[in-house]
Amino acid sequence: MRRPRKLSRRFGDLLDSEDFDDLDVLEDDDDDDDDEEFFNLCLSKPSSASSGIYSDGPLREFRQRVLIKNGQWLLHPDRFSRVQLGRYELIRCVGHGGMGAVFLGYDPELDRFVAVKMLEDELPEDHGDLRREARILAKLGHPNVIAVYDMGEHEGRPYLVMDFVQGLNAHRWLREESPSWRRILAVFIEVARGLSAAHDAGVVHNDLKPENVLVGFDGRVRVVDFGLAASAATKGQCGTWTYMAPESLAGRPRDARSDQFSFCVMLYEALYAQRPFHAKTAPAQYVAHCVGELQPGSTLYADLPKQVRALLVEGLAFDPEERHESMAALADALESFLVEPKPPRQVLIHVLGSLVLLVIGLSFSCERIERGHASFDEIASLAKKGVTVDRLTALSLEMARDGRGERALSTLNEAKGRAERISELRVVAKAADQVGLALYDAGEWEQSAISHLIARECHLESNNLAEEARSLELYLMSEKAAKSQF
């Protein structure tokens, strides 16, 4: 028998399409309601990332096929398989743009998640440059350049298999983390080091912009789409004009100094809250470059040295010959501003004394929680007093192992509410899955399911898609166990 149409309509509405017959190959069973709830969970996305994945754009039909096949596999992995590219399984589309789409993939041979970028255009007859640059990047092995593992072709379109980085692009990182100017410089210095290594190997990026810089949750910065978009383009202007150097806008040959110009536009925007050249079109941008109309900008960082702006202005020179000698030279100059002066001895004594008093007070409060004497109100007040997210999550795990499930969940929720940074959300998510497993072993399956849902929410909010899939599987395991006891 065919599965009821309501499940097919669920997908049809999502994909803005009226007919997806592939969904009807699933047989009917008694768990139809559970399956629909399962799909709702699988396909839900945080509001910040909800735009674009299923809308018009490159490879729309292919992205739809990946979604459908993954949904079938999630329901019946013994009967269905995901979309395959060589040995790689495609799980979901995580983004798309003018040049193609990026998918979260899985490599079963090496048991790891990967990022698979498929280009929209078919391979040109002479695509030697694309393969050459892919080989160079694969051999480069620089910590600040995305690792390239493999390259292939599917239905005439090239695809690249790369390291799947859990993190945020530079644009989202600046918006969500609100870093200090020193942290911004540190991140962009890593970008400059990656660019310098690629330039030394003979590869130019050609499309440097915030979306092509990833700040990983592991703290490492990586530059992506290195030179590959330009090599794959067969005609027209390649790049994002708001970040392009004047020689790129004019269609003249580009080199490493063009990347330096784009880098300085990005860093200027990050520090001064606007791009150095204000224009609404590419021609107007070129005119602004010619006359040197730099926007003064305003910074929130009162202690930002004025010499930083002078370095960026030099990198934004119209004539490439007047820019910095290399990205390495610019990185060295920026790094000199990260040496912080030592505070006076009296200040250190005062700070250490205050920290000692704070630790004594918090240790007493934490001890009450560990012994089970603290009320839920006391747990909530601890977060307000300054107990770290790390400490709260550690306490929740201890409670779960001691059989105090409700208190563990309450402490987890307090930790989640206190998490202000992406890195803190990841800490809470990891702890919530550990708490869920501990509660599952104790037979508290309903509480275990709630804990895994907390983990999944944190993974979604932090855009940690690979771990979100694991938390979803753990939730379904706990939910199934909870239903089986009735």
387 C-beta neighbours (distance < 10 Å), count: 21
The active-site residue, picked from 35, 107, 207, 259, is 207
58 C-beta neighbours (distance < 10 Å), count: 17
DSSP 8-state symbol, 484: H
Q: Give per-residue burial for 262-275: e unless 16+ CB within 10 Å, then b.
A: bbbbbbbbbbbeeb
* CA–CA distance, 203 with 256 (Å, rounded to integer): 8
Q: Identify any residues that bridge with 208 across adjacent strands, giving them in sequence order.
A: none
Where are the extended beta strands (E) located within 45-195? 83-85, 88-96, 100-107, 112-119, 148-154, 157-163, 167-169
Among the listed residues 98, 480, 72, the one whose alpha carbon sits nearest the alpha carbon of residue 89:
72
Edge-to-edge strand order for the sheet containing 213-216?
167-169, 213-216, 221-223
Q: Report yes or no: 162 and 152 within 8 Å, Cβ to Cβ.
A: no
DSSP string of 331-375, one letter each residue? HHHHHGGG-PPPPPHHHHHHHHHHHHHHHHHHHHHHHHHHTT---
* CA–CA distance, 65 with 68 (Å, rounded to integer): 5
Angle (nearest 5°) at CA 262 between 256 and 267: 125
Q: Report yes or no: 314 and 323 within 8 Å, Cβ to Cβ.
A: yes
Q: Report yes or no: 83 and 116 within 8 Å, Cβ to Cβ.
A: no
Among the listed residues 228, 256, 224, 250, the one whose alpha carbon sits nearest the alpha carbon of residue 237:
250
Q: Report yes or no: 160 and 138 within 8 Å, Cβ to Cβ.
A: no
Is 56 in the active site?
A: no
* CA–CA distance, 257 with 325 (Å, rounded to integer): 8
List residues with catalytic annotation. 207
